[in-house]
Homo-oligomer: A and B are copies of this chain.
């Protein structure tokens, strides 16, 4: 189930919603599988430089009329998360990994999501984890998600499943799914620079633009220049 589709059910589901393209498409998939009234989304302000994406998350959540969208204001998390250009200037030393990888970010976010969901009696978690385009994020792989689901289930003393519906999808495929499900791409935010318009030059913008091109669609987000 981990890397497969979100099964239809009358149980609620908790979505980790960053406001980026991937998690917005997963939100749409959750709404399709469960109905918006069973979808709860959590966004986390961890002190990211591109906090613009939190506003994007609010727009997307509102567009889908989901049951609840909660933005956790944990901007001090950046003080304790591993170093990355996304939380401060200066680069980190893992040259084998994407420079935008924040060590532990997804681990911490998933832990927080599980706790938040538990108190709502929600035990199915989902998010936009993907191994293809942002390859090199170790905490977006099955090798992490499978033991994490076991740890969460045992630590919460309640079976907790993690569903990663776009784990193996290409960016173009994700965009095509989003198009089918009326994801408001114009609200989603992928740029790491956090300006008024997307920069079009950072790794995230480049992957996004290439994905739209491959999908044969036009990205409605405004770009610089």
Contact = CB atoms under 8 A, between A and B. Distances in A.
A141 B81 CA distance: 25
Contacts of A148: 147-148, 151, 155
A27 to B, nearest CB: 18
A213 interface: no
Contact of A72 (B72, B76, B103, B156): B76
B143 A82 contact: no
A147 B138 contact: no
Nearest to A105: B115
Give the secondary structure class of A's interface: helix
Given A81-B115, A147-B151, A148-B151, A73 B76 contact: yes
Q: How many copies does the complex hold?
A: 2
A118 B103 CA distance: 7
Interface residues of A, number: 44
A97 interface: yes
Nearest to A157: B138
A94 B82 CA distance: 34
Given A119-B82, A138-B154, A144-B155, A108 B104 contact: no
A217 B114 CA distance: 41
Interface of A: 42, 70, 72-74, 76-77, 79-83, 92, 94, 97, 102-108, 110-112, 114-116, 118-119, 138-139, 141, 143-144, 147-148, 150-152, 154-157
